[in-house]
Every structure is written in structure tokens, then in C-alpha cells.
Structure 1
Amino acid sequence: MAGSGQKLWTKGFVLAIITNLFLSMVFYLLMTSMALYAVEEFAASDSAGGFASGSFVIGALLARVFAGKFLDFVGRRRLLIVSLAVFVVAALLYIPADSLALLLTVRIIHGAAFGAASTSLSASVMGLIPINRRGEGTGYFGISTTLATAVGPFLAVMLVDSVSYRALFLVTTACAAVALVLSLVLRLPERTPTPEEQKNKWRMHLTDIIDPGALSIASVMFIAGAAYAGVLSFLNSYAQSEGLVLGASLFFVVYAAVVLVSRLFVGRIQDRHGDNAVIYPTLVSFAAGLALLAYAPNNAVLAVAGIFLGFGFGALMPCAQAIAVSMAPAHRIGLATSTFFILMDAGIGVGPLLLGMLLPVTGYHGMYWVLAAVVLASTVLYHFVHGRKNVRPGTPVDPKLGVPAA
């Protein structure tokens, strides 16, 4: 585990950031185009097209359940390389997949490989970050995902409109291959399971799948993920119905820029002043951004909403991940990481389904007002599950309970 005297910007840390960039690029290249591809290529219904997009998340969730448990038994670097090899093959299989059933199969396999690889990489990179700079380091690592959020959807639209879906799948495969090549030269800190862990290797109690220490902050991220899904899944449709297409385009540019800037300083504030100094402001900012989307009378207001959502959800995610890892003892960091992403991914996966049922009742404006209220209310949840402790990253953790040591 990284110590307080260790450097942050090492070769391994930089390679991990770049690997995560290409890993995340694949996710965003396909997530924004797969529903339309299923409808156009296989005459799928809108709901089936949505499932073609979301089935990737289902595969990722299944893989995270087991990756967190067996990460240190398999070996972190070994799991990363093997899962990325499957990731490359699955990316290439989109081209010959000639039916909706085959497409869904590829999506689930591809998602599972993504879930295993991202869990291994996200958990392992924590060992490359000094404990007293965990908030800052996690924020820098998350910048790679932010860049993918900005570049991936834009590149996907350009490739599909100007070239073809085949070109999109080839670019996706190339990105996956780059991640695989980088993983071959990336050295990750390994941890040998204790005799007690070896003894319970095949035990699958709930605590072997979900880390209780990470569950508290992960529950907040479940709500945040569901709310963010309302932006990812419905903003373009909302903008078209309201004649605010320009505002929607500006929104994503502004969002990515604010996330990029915020991650340069929010982690430092968390390390110096504690978790509450960043989590409360980001949740309030997130709610304000959703309220602006609900109000949005013109393109300018829609674009401004990107500022609040960028500082809200964009800065919230790495800070919350740092909390999840800090609440776990060293031997459960992999499990804490998978717990964090399982709940956040579940929120992103379930969100569109629930919001799709809400839309006929509330309309787009009402839906975003509801989401703004729910996110604002999540500050109360955060207070009770973690905020009242105001724990700083690096606080000693009880190795058995996974909570701050007295």
C-alpha cells in the first residue's frame, strides 16, 4: 500500500491513467450509439434498443460482483490483462454479429470484460497513490474518464454519420487494443491473500460480495447515478422537443470542461479539509444543475446547467470513490472498489427504466424537477451514513470493521 512519503506522479500512475482513458473511450463510443444501431440494423423496438445499450452495464455488474472477491486470488495484473484480451475480442465481434440476439450476447460479454478490467485497474491504482493524497490522486485518475466522456460520444456521432458503424467498431477495437498493450507494461501493486482469506476463498456470503464500509457512500452514488442517467439518456430528446439542440451540444462541452478543471483542485480540498468540505457542495451543485435543466427557457440556461452538473456529478464521483476506499481495510480495497461501482452502475442502469415510466406523467421538465429534489434530499442520506463523521482520507481504519478506528 502506498505510504505518505511516496511520490504521486510515477510512471505506473501515468500509465494507469492512460490505460483507463482508452478503456473508458470504448464504453462511451458504444453507449451513445448502440440503441440507435439496434433499431436501424435489426429493426428492434425502442425498448429492445435501450436494452441493447444497457445490457453492457448488466455484464459489467455481474463481473464486478466476482472481480472484487477474487481480485487478489487471481492477481491484479493477471486479471487486468486477461479481461482486456477478452475486451479486444468482444469489440471485434460487433462486426460479424448479424442478429439482435448475437448483439446482446456480445454486449453482455463485452460489459463483463469491462467490469473486470475497470475493477482491477481502479482498485490497483489506489496502491500507487500516497494515502495522504488519495482524494487528489483519485481526481487526477478520474480525468481520463472525463476526457472519454467528452471525446467518445462526439467521435461516435462523427463516425456513424460520416463513415459507418463498421468504422465505429474498428475504432472501438483499436482503443481496446491500446489499453491491452499498455497493460502489458503496467506494473500494479499486488497483495497476497492471508491464510484466513485462502480458507474462505469459495465462501460467498453477502460480505464477500459487498463491502459494508463502502456501502454507505455507495448508496449515495446509486441515487447520483440514477439522476445522471436522466441526463445521459434523455437530454438530447428533451432538447429536440424544446428546440434547444444548440444548448444541449454546449452543455456537454461545458460539462466536460468544468469536470476537468474541478478535478485539479477538489481532491486537494478533500485531503486537507475532510470529506464534507467537498461532498455537500457537489451534491447541492448537482441538484442546482438538474433544476436549471428543468427550468431551461433557452440555450444559454441549458449550457449554464453544464457548469453546475460538471462540478456536481463530475467532481462528486472521484471524491466518493476516495471515501469508499478509505473506509476499507487494505485487504478489502478491491471489494470496496467493486461495491462502489456496482451501486453506481446499478443506478445508471436502473435510472432510464424508472425515469422512462415517470416521463409520461411528468414530462421532461417535471422529471428533472423530481431528480433535482431527490439529489438535494440525498444530502440528508449522506449526513446520516457518513457526513456526521467528517472523515479525512488517511484516517486509520479498523481492519475488521472497515470503519474509522477510535
Structure 2
Amino acid sequence: MNPQDGVLWSRNFSLSCLANFFYFGSFYLLLPILPQYVDTLGGTAAQVGLVTGLYTMAAVVVRPYFGQLADRSGRKKIMLTGAGCFTLLFMLYGLVEAIYPLYILRVVHGLAHAAFLAAAAAYIADLAPSARRGEAMGVYGTANVLAMALFPAWGTAVISRTGDFNYLFGLSAAVAGLAFLCILPVRELAAAPAGSRPGAGFLTVGKRREVLLPALALFGGATTYGAIIAFLPLFAPQRGITDIGIFFTAFAASTVVSRIFTGKLSDRIGRQPVILPCMALIVLAVCILAQLSSREMLIITALLYGFGFGAFMPTLNALVVDYTPPRDRGAALGFFTAFMDLGITAGSVILGFVGELFGYTAMFYSSAVVAIASIAVFIAGMRKAGVVNHE
């Protein structure tokens, strides 16, 4: 038995993965019914986008700060604060009677989201054995994907059967509460050895090539993700395909497989030999999607995209950790993961204008161009920095 197996599959790691599953489960319970809820409040289609965008942008702005705070105050404390607030805020949705108070609630909820994610990413990075970091990141991320595969359908079914939004808000709070309870027994890990100098600020850390370049690559991949999530439900029916759910099922299954196997592969052969082919798969899948003509084509796209994106983010994440000292990991990962939200926002909002003016085919091709440009910058920048590979 590998002596690191016990470290990777420790109680702390297992509970963290379970917390991640329940945390994102509560998030995905609410996500698919938000447009319906906004509609009941008299909101417009534009306000549906704003409700989503405010949440994301709030998380983007403060996530690096919470990462830095986790470096100074401890990972577990910030994880508990984020998960606790995230749980309680679900109970306030039922009290909202107009669209503008919902804006405020979504901003505050985004702040709690940022706190949990930034601290949890740093906690897993500290916990993972260095020789199995890619595998650990992949397994941890799989919990999120499993939640995405299961909970949206549950949330939709609840509303279809009961029509009771308050019941769903309570259910989301209960699931988020399970995430909080999973965190309680985990052991706090010191972000830096006692007596060491304080970590650098997140802006200082973000200027380092080994953090900034992976963040830009993540932005490119996340832009394609934002475009798909926001506009596939509108694009596919135009091509005569109404069963959109099959895409997300195939995407989730492929992502799980990818994260389990490619994380371990990146530990053996290095990060970039995994990152680059996965980015190529992302670009290929988006280009195929732009020419969508059948259900079978949609499934193939989902499998290719899920495998590429499933390995892409955790391997980039592991690359950032490889070159970041423990005292700066919270700040570095807070900065890095914020680019996921920025990319999703760019794909769903900015490229939305491209789709409106030139059509969805042009929009998907444009997202592929953004992804190609980001990976070109990543390759050139890493070579210039002398970071050709990591083993």
C-alpha cells in the first residue's frame, strides 16, 4: 500500500469531499428554478440574468480577499463562516416579495459562496500529498460534478410536484447545513509554519506568472462553459433537439471519469501534458456544438467537452499549488478561481451580445477563439518563465 494513500483518503479529506458535495447540492437545487422564481416576482428576462450575474460578480470581487484571509486566520474558520452564512441565507429567499431585495440577497449570498470556495480550495491544497496533488484535486472536484448531475433534477421535480418555492428554499438550507456539519469535525491545518513571515497580498500573488497564466487559461475555458450553460437551452431547440438534459447527464458522467483518471496522470507525467490536450478537446467540442444537427452529435459534444473540462480546471489548480508556498495558497487560489466566475460571466453576458447580433453559431465559434487565445498566452508565458513542465 502506498503510504500516501492514508493521507489522501483521511477523515479530513473524505469529510471535505462530502461537504463539497452537499454544498454544491444546495446550490444546484436552487439554480434551475431561479428563473421561475424571478418570474413570480414580476421580473423580466433581463432581470433573470442580473440575478445570476450579481451573485457571480460578488463572488469574483471578494474571493481573493477571502483566500488571503484564510491564509491569515485559518482555512476551517473561513469555511465554516462561508457555509454557515450560505445555509442561513437560503431561509431569507421566502421572505423576498420584490425583485430589488432579491438583488441584495443574491449579492450577500455570493459573498458567502466566495468565502467557502476560497478557503476550501486552500484546505484541500494543504491536505493533498504533493506527489498526488492532481489526483486529490480531481477527486475533490468530482463531488461538485456529482452534485450537478443529481440536484438540479431534484429541485426541478420538487417545484413541478409542489409549486412550493418556500419548501425548496428550506430543502436547500437543510442540504447546505449538512455541508456545515461535515466541516465541523475536520482538523484545522496551519496555513504556514509558526513564526514564518505573513503571506503576500492577493494582488501581489496574482502578478506571479505561475498564478496569473493558469488563471488566464481558466478564463478561456470558463468562457466556453458560460456560453454553453446560458445558451445551449435556446440553441438546441433551434436545431430540432428538445432533450437538453441528455447533454448535462453525458457531461457529468464524462467529467467524473476525467477527474478520477487524469488527475493521477498529471501527477505522473506533469501538468502541461494534460492541460494542453484537454484544452484542445474543449475547443473541438465547442466547434462541433456550433454545427449541432442531431441528438447523437449533442451527446458526442457533451462527452468530449466533459472529459476536457473535467481535467482542465483541477490540473490548472494543481499547477498553481505546485508553485505557491503554503502561506500564500489561499490568496493564490482565491485569485485563480475568481477567473472561473469571470469566464462564465463573459461567456453568458458578453458573448450573449455576439449571439444576438450574429447568431449562436458565431457565438460558439467566438468562445472557441477566446479559449485558443488564452491557451496560447499560457504556453508562451510559461515557457518564457521557464516553467515548461512540472513532475
Q: Same fold (TM over 0.5)?
A: yes
1:37 aligns with 2:37: yes
Contact 1:210–1:335 (Cα < 8 Å) also in 2: no
TM-score normalised per structure 2 = 0.92
Contact 2:206–2:332 (Cα < 8 Å) also in 1: no
| CA displacement, residues 180-229 of structure 1 (integer Å, 9 cap, x when unaligned) | 1111112131235776755x89xx68316766531110011111111110
* 1:261-280 alignment, distance < 5 Å: 261-280=257-276
Q: Quick one: which amino acid aligns to residue 166 of structure 2?
A: R
Structure 1 ranges of 4+ moved more than 4 A: 3-6, 192-198, 208-212
The runs of 5 or more residues in structure 1 that have no matched partner are: 394-406
Give the 3 Å change call, closer, same or farther, for CA 237–98 of structure 1 in structure 2: same
Higher relative contact order (CA 8 A, sep 6+): 2
Partner of 2:176: 176
Displacement of 1:392 after TM fit?
Answer: 1.8
Partner of 1:256: 252
User: In 2, Cα distance between the equivalents of 1:205 and 1:271?
Assistant: 26
TM-score normalised per structure 1 = 0.89
1:238 aligns with 2:246: no
| CA displacement, residues 211-248 of structure 1 (integer Å, 9 cap, x when unaligned) | 653111001111111111001111111122222112x2
Give the 3 Å change call, closer, same or farther, for CA 122–66 of structure 1 in structure 2: same
DSSP-derived class of the 1:185 partner: coil
User: In 2, Cα distance between the equivalents of 1:272 and 1:205?
Assistant: 30
Q: Quick one: which amino acid aligns to residue 217 of structure 2?
A: V
Partner of 1:80: 79
Partner of 1:146: 145
Give the 3 Å change call, closer, same or farther, for CA 62–197 of structure 1 in structure 2: farther
Paired residue total: 386
1:296 aligns with 2:292: yes
User: In 2, Cα distance between the equivalents of 1:205 and 1:378?
Assistant: 21
| CA displacement, residues 110-135 of structure 1 (integer Å, 9 cap, x when unaligned) | 11111101111111111211001001
Partner of 2:388: 390
Contact 1:68–1:209 (Cα < 8 Å) also in 2: no
Displacement of 1:306 after TM fit?
Answer: 0.3
Give the 3 Å change call, closer, same or farther, for CA 211–183 of structure 1 in structure 2: farther
| CA displacement, residues 256-307 of structure 1 (integer Å, 9 cap, x when unaligned) | 1111111121011111111122111101100111011111111110111001
* 1:364-379 alignment, distance < 5 Å: 364-379=360-375
| CA displacement, residues 116-161 of structure 1 (integer Å, 9 cap, x when unaligned) | 0111111111121100100111101110011122123222222222
Displacement of 1:313 after TM fit?
Answer: 1.3
Contact 1:72–1:193 (Cα < 8 Å) also in 2: no
Residue identity (%) = 27
Q: Quick one: which amino acid aligns to residue 185 of structure 1?
A: P
Partner of 2:122: 123
Contact 1:60–1:111 (Cα < 8 Å) also in 2: yes
The runs of 5 or more residues in structure 2 that have no matched partner are: none
Contact 1:71–1:334 (Cα < 8 Å) also in 2: yes
Contact 1:12–1:188 (Cα < 8 Å) also in 2: no
User: In 2, Cα distance between the equivalents of 1:380 and 1:192?
Assistant: 34
Partner of 2:23: 23
User: In 2, Cα distance between the equivalents of 1:254 and 1:321?
Assistant: 24
DSSP-derived class of the 2:8 partner: coil
Q: Which moved more, 1:269-278 or 1:24-33?
A: 24-33
* Pairwise CA RMSD: 2.2
Partner of 1:316: 312
Displacement of 1:322 after TM fit?
Answer: 0.6
Give the 3 Å change call, closer, same or farther, for CA 11–4 of structure 1 in structure 2: closer
Q: Quick one: which amino acid aligns to residue 289 of structure 1?
A: A
User: In 1, Cα distance between the equivalents of 2:15 and 2:208?
Assistant: 28
Displacement of 1:370 after TM fit?
Answer: 2.1
Give the 3 Å change call, closer, same or farther, for CA 194–185 of structure 1 in structure 2: closer
Q: Quick one: which amino acid aligns to residue 90 of structure 1?
A: L
Give the 3 Å change call, closer, same or farther, for CA 115–193 of structure 1 in structure 2: farther
Q: Quick one: which amino acid aligns to residue 169 of structure 2?
A: F
